[in-house]
Structure 1
Amino acid sequence: MFTLLQRGFNNPPPARNPPDAEGLFLILFCFGMLFVVFMIALLFLRSLSNCLKEVAPRNRQMWPGEVWYCLLPFIGIVWLIITVLRIADSLDNEYEDRRWKGDRDFGKAMGLAFAISVLVIGPPGGIFGLIYWIKISGYTRSLRNSPRRRSVSFDDDPTTYQRQSGNTVDENPWFQNIENEQDRERHRHEG
């Protein structure tokens, strides 16, 4: 037994072979693919954030910066589902506020299909993500390229309207709505 131990100490382990070119190429390829996927994810999330920036703050269900939580490990996929739902609700509110007709889906079905398919089948579910990305980019473009026509509600600040539009207080629809309400009330009580 002592001779076995002595033999083990006298014979060092064989030298490791340096990694071959194929193994090194495979490792670099995997890291390259991860980098490409990460860059695509950044562009995708930037597109979602830009969409929310085009929605009026009072119509948003989440802030534009909150989409970046999707990058967090483990909870990112759950946050993606929440993001898809909140963006759809925000777009619905914005379209309703502008008195536009939309499809009322606002990419919700495709976004949920993307999030769930990535969770279940992995990267092949990215085709749903591409379709969702195209839909959201279309909504962003339509919001960005059109004049901001929206309803005026009583929670709007009249001075903000005056600064943005350059109209005087007499032309402000906020005050006109108040006057119209007072006229209706007066006619209701008189009539």
Structure 2
Amino acid sequence: MLDILSQNITDDMAWYMLIGGIIRIIIWIFFALTLYRTLKLVKKENLCILPSQAWFVAVPLFNIYWNFEVAKRLADSLNNEFYDRKVEVEERPTQKWGLIFAWTFLLSNIPLPLFVLTIIGILHLVYFITYWVKVHEYKTLLRMHVDHYGKDFTAENKDETEM
């Protein structure tokens, strides 16, 4: 396997790249798990993306495109759910951070000069973490609301549940 690599890459470097790639996929899987669990809390009629489709963010190369779809569809799903529950949150929650994350991820996969890729890589890491934290915050808010009122709650039957 290592014989097909360029002569400039040593065996140790190849192993580090392999281990780095595996760690990156594991991180993507945990990120997809957060997206999946968030979408599982949203009622079926409010979903703009199926929870099972969240796993596509862990597919290398395809996720370059899919990150944009997740950013838009997750924001729409959360927006629909929070509107239905009459919970005040920002318009299209997580979308701004998700689109910035998706763009920096796209740019980090374009062959550019090393100093530009380093800056883009740092920005990508910052926005990836920020997006993940924002999704987790909304998942926690939705989880608390679901635990308190139930998954089938709508603002119309709020008076019935409080009696």
Whether TM-score is above 0.5 comes out as yes
State the partner residue of 2:40. 53
- The 2-side partners of 1:56 and 1:152 are apart by 15
- Label 1:102 to 1:32 Cα distance change in 2 as closer, same or farther (>3 A): same
- What is the letter of the counterpart of residue 87 of structure 2? W
Answer with 1 or 2: which has the greater Rg.
Answer: 1
Structure 1 unaligned spans of 5+? 1-21, 154-170, 174-191
Equivalenced residues, count: 135
State the partner residue of 2:85. 98
- The 1-side partners of 2:43 and 2:80 are apart by 9
Contact kept in structure 1, 2:28 and 2:57, CA below 8 Å: no
- What is the letter of the counterpart of residue 71 of structure 1? A
Q: Tell which deviates more after alignment, 65-74 or 37-46.
A: 65-74
Report the secondary structure of 1:145's partner residue. Answer: helix
Q: CA deviation at 1:71?
A: 3.4
- The 2-side partners of 1:114 and 1:30 are apart by 23
- The 1-side partners of 2:62 and 2:100 are apart by 17
- Label 1:73 to 1:28 Cα distance change in 2 as closer, same or farther (>3 A): closer
Q: CA deviation at 1:23?
A: 2.5
- The 1-side partners of 2:36 and 2:125 are apart by 19
Which residue, 132, 138, 155 being the options, matches 1:151?
155
Report the secondary structure of 2:89's partner residue. Answer: coil
State the partner residue of 1:67. 54
Q: CA deviation at 1:73?
A: 4.4
- The 1-side partners of 2:55 and 2:126 are apart by 21
Report the secondary structure of 2:27's partner residue. Answer: helix
Deviation by residue 1:157-182 (Cα, 9 ceiling, x = unmatched): xxxxxxxxxxxxxx979xxxxxxxxx
- The 2-side partners of 1:36 and 1:75 are apart by 18
State the partner residue of 2:125. 126
Q: CA deviation at 1:79?
A: 1.5
State the partner residue of 2:114. none
Structure 2 unaligned spans of 5+? 1-8, 110-120
Contact kept in structure 1, 2:25 and 2:58, CA below 8 Å: no
CA RMSD of aligned residues (A): 2.2
**Quick one: higher RCO (CA 8 Å, sep 6+), 1 or 2?**
2
Which residue, 3, 11, 17 being the options, matches 1:30?
17
- The 2-side partners of 1:44 and 1:59 are apart by 22
- The 1-side partners of 2:93 and 2:130 are apart by 12
**What TM-score, normalized by structure 2, do the two folds share?**
0.75
Provide runs of 4+ in structure 1 moved above 6 Å: none
**What TM-score, normalized by structure 1, do the two folds share?**
0.64
